[in-house]
Amino acid sequence: MDNQRLLIWAIFAVLAWMTYQAWQQDYAPQPVEPAPLSEPEPTVSEPEALGLPEMSDAGEADAVPELPTAEDSVTGGAATAPEAAVIHVHTDVLDLDISTRGGTLQRATLPKYPVAKDQPDIPVMLLDPDPGDIGLIRTGLRSASAEQPGPGHTALFSATQNDYDMDGDDELVVRLTWSDGAGLELEKKYSFSRGSYAIKLEQTFRNNSMEPWRGDQYAQLVRRFHARKRKMADVDSYSFDGPLVYDGEKAEKLKRDELLENGPFQFTAENGWVAAIQHHFLSAIIPDREANHIYQVQADETTMTASAVGAKQTIEPGASHTFTETLYVGPKLQKQLAQIDPRLKLMVDYGWLTVLSQPLFWLLSKVHTFFGNWGVAIICVTILIKAVFYKLTEASGRSMAKMRNLQPRLKSIQERYKDDRQKQSQAMMELYKREKVNPAAGCLPILIQMPFFLAFYWVLLESVEMRQAPFALWITDLSSRDPYFVLPLIMGAAMFFQQRLNPQVGDPVQVKVMQVMPVIFTAFFAFFPSGLVLYWVTNTLLSIAQQWNINKVVEREAKQHKGAKKPKPG
């Protein structure tokens, strides 16, 4: 009985943990309104405007300058500089604006990903120069000498045209050039590939002066960083929204409150990256592999800035050097991310069940390539999981079927010792032992299913491949709730019928709690992704079919056993 009581509390604990995310809206901090911009201030020096670690020969940060203001994030710290032109880039998957002020990526929309199915003409926007919802990726070079400037994100570049369209080509290249007029030149080359959200950046620096030039490259991701309010009907609000860093060994999400309280987060790594992730989408800076970089993330009340600074380089007179890195602005497509670097799959936040979620997603993807429907893939994978654990759940089912046959004898014991709970429990345990029945065996199927249930929850919630994916009839988006609550009601009815197949054991309170579980599950699942409910409905129906068959087999075996015990006539 203690095992059953423990199971009941475990189920409630899991459900409470899930629904806490939805109900947290009543307790979460209110969103902070973006602070109004101050009047433009005089231009500051470039290292201070960057908000990056200062350079040192040891490759470590000497100090952490103050975070750039929102004004500096938009203007590049050059409020008094000439107005910059905007270059529009259109590929088959990206609409992008590049400012000639530093070659900053300042606006990016995803035409293939509408904000909602009923708003197909409004694409998701990941980069935006608006201070209230800012998103920028700015890059440049820093000089170690004030006499020889580095073309940073405040430098003004030039381009041969203002519009670029991929049309029918497989690649598109955008070039921007800068010169100080005294022999220092920089060409920024952005390369786009068909179907890809990765942007390859090459910065070729030529030193045609009479003195060596020494400096480093940097890239910064500036992103709005407001406090968030969770909404029960908004699946997007369930996911982490903020900076994610990788130090070469592990990925870490940086929480807003901790950054504000503890100050900038900084580390040095050879194979690291920094990103700003949100539900289904991300912006990221991926420096060259095997190259030492200093990474830093800092934040104020409305904005976070993630930086990657490379090692210093010395370029002799007459020489040139090309700095390269990869930028990514788009959905969390695991196949594309893995092609850039296998570690980038960690940007898909499956939480602590990644070890199960990633193989499940791989299996789902393989099945989907065959059927072309994610809903059918979920059903097929559920059947496969059920088949893998069939023998284990069969043993549990046989024990439950035997418990069902013992019900009359158990009720007799309960009536006989209704005033003595100790003797009642002792008599029941003796009966279980004599008949070789484990009353807790029915817990096993649920305990087996729970990790896969949670792993499926994260796969369906976090995998952008499932976003707005249709199944059939009224289910047009497997990543959001059933609009008519039909699947949750079917699930509740199936769970109720499943209970009819299984014995109701335990004290009256436990029995009543188990009887209301279908109602509780129906209420909770009403707001879960419909793909998750589809999985649970399929699993429940398979469990009913399996238990019904086992019950018939056990009843037939019992009759045969009784027939064998009857004495032969005469």
The CA distance from 266 to 307, in Å, is: 9
Local structure of 211: helix, strand or coil: coil
Q: Quick one: pLDDT at residue 177?
A: 94
The full set of domain ranges for the chain reads: 48-348, 372-401+442-559
Position 420 confidence tier, pLDDT thresholds 50, 70, 90: confident
3-class DSSP assignment, residue 10: helix
d(CA 329, CA 337): 11
Q: What is the pTM of this model?
A: 0.76
Check residue 41 and report its DSSP letter: -
What's the CA gap between 292 and 305, in Å, rounded? Answer: 20
Radius of gyration over every alpha carbon of the chain, rounded to an integer in angstroms = 31
- The beta-carbon contacts of 46-50 under 8 Å, at least 24 apart in sequence, are 46/77, 46/142, 46/149, 46/150, 46/152, 46/154, 47/142, 49/76, 49/77, 49/152, 49/154, 50/142, 50/152, 50/153, 50/218, 50/220, 50/307
Model confidence band, residue 49 (pLDDT cutoffs 50, 70, 90): very low
pLDDT of residue 52: 58
* Gap between the Cα atoms of 478 and 495, Å rounded: 21
Q: Say how far apart CA 391 and CA 395 lie, in whole Å.
A: 6
**Looking at per-residue confidence, does 64 or 399 come out higher?**
399
Q: What would the mean pLDDT of 417-425 be, rounded to a whole number? A: 75
The 8-class DSSP code of residue 505 comes to -
Choose the CATH number for 48-348 among 2.70.98.90, 3.30.1300.10, 3.10.20.600, 3.30.70.260.
2.70.98.90
318-349 per-residue burial string, b: 16 or more CB within 10 A, e: under 16: eeebebebbbbbbbbbbebbeebbebbbbbbb
- Angle 508-525/486-501 helices, nearest 10 degrees? 160
What is the reported pLDDT for 568?
Answer: 56
Backbone phi, psi, residue 545, to 5° = -60, -40
Higher pLDDT pick, 415 / 356: 356
Q: What is the dihedral of CA 478, 483, 485, 490, to 10 degrees?
A: -40
For 331, phi and psi rounded to 5 degrees? -75, 160
Lowest mean pLDDT among 33-37, 167-171, 296-300: 33-37
Interval 224-281: pLDDT, tens: 887 766 555 555 556 788 899 998 888 888 888 888 888 899 999 888 899 999 888 9
pLDDT for position 136: 94
Nearest to 543 by CA among 475, 442, 454, 456: 442
Mean pLDDT for the chain overall: 77
How far from 53 is each of 57, 65, 266, 293, 479, CA to CA, in Å? 12, 7, 9, 11, 41
| 400 in Cβ contact with 547 (< 8 Å) | yes
- The CA distances from residue 14 to 354, 446, 447, 481, in Å, are 17, 12, 11, 19
First-to-last CA distance in the chain? 47
Q: What is the pLDDT of residue 65?
A: 34
- Token pair of 313, please? 């380089």
- Which H helix or E strand runs over 355? helix 354-371
pLDDT, one tens digit per residue, over 490-513 is 988 888 887 776 655 555 666 666
CA 37 to chain centre: 32
Q: What is the structure's pLDDT at 377?
A: 93
* Euclidean distance between CA atoms 536 and 204, whole angstroms: 55
Could you report the per-residue pLDDT of 516-570, keeping only the tens digit for each? Answer: 778 888 888 888 888 888 988 998 898 888 778 777 766 676 666 566 655 555 4
Quick check: 210 pLDDT over 80? yes
pLDDT tens per residue, range 135-150: 999 999 998 877 777 8
Three-state SS for 445? Answer: helix
Per DSSP, 346 falls in state G
Residue range 460-474: mean pLDDT, rounded: 85
How is residue 478 annotated by DSSP? T
Give the pLDDT confidence score for residue 443 in this predicted structure: 63
**pLDDT of amino acid 279:** 86
Average pLDDT of the segment spanning 214-220: 92
How would you classify the pairing of strands 213-224 and 135-143? antiparallel
Antiparallel, parallel or unpaired: β 86-90 and 163-165: parallel
Residue 285: its pLDDT value, please?
A: 94
Q: Which of 237, 220, 69 is nearest to 141 (CA)?
A: 220
Spatial CB neighbours of 40, under 8 Å, sequence gap ≥ 6: 71, 75, 79, 80
Structure tokens at 498: 């499943």
Q: What is the mean pLDDT of residues 312-323?
A: 92
pLDDT at residue 33 greater than cutoff 60: no
H or E element that contains 275: strand 273-278
Burial 250-265 (b: 16+ CB within 10 A, else e): ebeebebeebeeeebb
Instruction: Answer whether 307's CB lies under 8 Å from 254's CB.
Output: no
Cβ–Cβ < 8 Å for 405, 371:
no
394 token code pair:
């069969």
**Burial label, 223 (beta-carbon count in 10 A; 0-12, 13-18, 19+):** buried
Distance CA 132, CA 225 (A): 10
Decide if 21 contacts 230 (C-beta within 8 A).
Answer: yes
Decide: 62 and 52 in contact? Cβ < 8 Å. no
Dihedral angle, C-alpha 308, 314, 317, 320, nearest 10 °: -50
**Residue 364: closest CA among 470, 449, 456, 461:** 456
> Looking at the predicted structure, is the pLDDT value of residue 178 above 60?
yes
CA–CA separation, 181 and 365 (whole Å) = 54
% the chain with pLDDT above 90: 28
Q: Please tell me the total number of residues recorded for the chain in this structure.
A: 570
Q: What is the mean pLDDT of residues 106-118?
A: 90
